Amino acid sequence: MRRLTLAAAASALVFTIASPALADQEPTPPQEQQQMRGERRRSDGHTQRKRNPAERFKKLDINGDGTVSRTEWPRAAEVFDKLDANKDGALTMTELQAGRSKRHRRR
């Protein structure tokens, strides 16, 4: 019982000391919070995460050989064939980036 009372007193003391310091902090505006999380607001009001191409490529490259094979590719085979510029059956980071920039130019 005595330990419980000591723990409660210590908690109350910490809360009392920390409360003024926490009250002095300005809350972070929602837009800044989104930027810190790597998000952006779309025109339709939804939030969208920014995609890091290197991270996405690493997730696709399941066996870690530096290329994405057809078996590792989660989308349709036709998309893979369009992106595979040298037709070697494997996508490199350069091929994926080239395909992405082509797609953005068409928009």
pLDDT digit string, tens, across residues 7-58: 666 565 555 555 555 555 666 666 665 555 555 666 666 666 666 888 889 9
pLDDT at residue 54 in the model: 87
Q: Which CATH number fits domain 51-107: 3.40.190.10, 1.10.238.10, 3.40.50.1820, 3.40.50.10260?
A: 1.10.238.10
pLDDT at 105 over 80: no
pTM of the model: 0.51
pLDDT in tens, 40-50: 666 666 666 66
Q: Where are the alpha helices (DSSP H) in 1-107?
A: 2-24, 30-36, 53-60, 77-83, 93-106
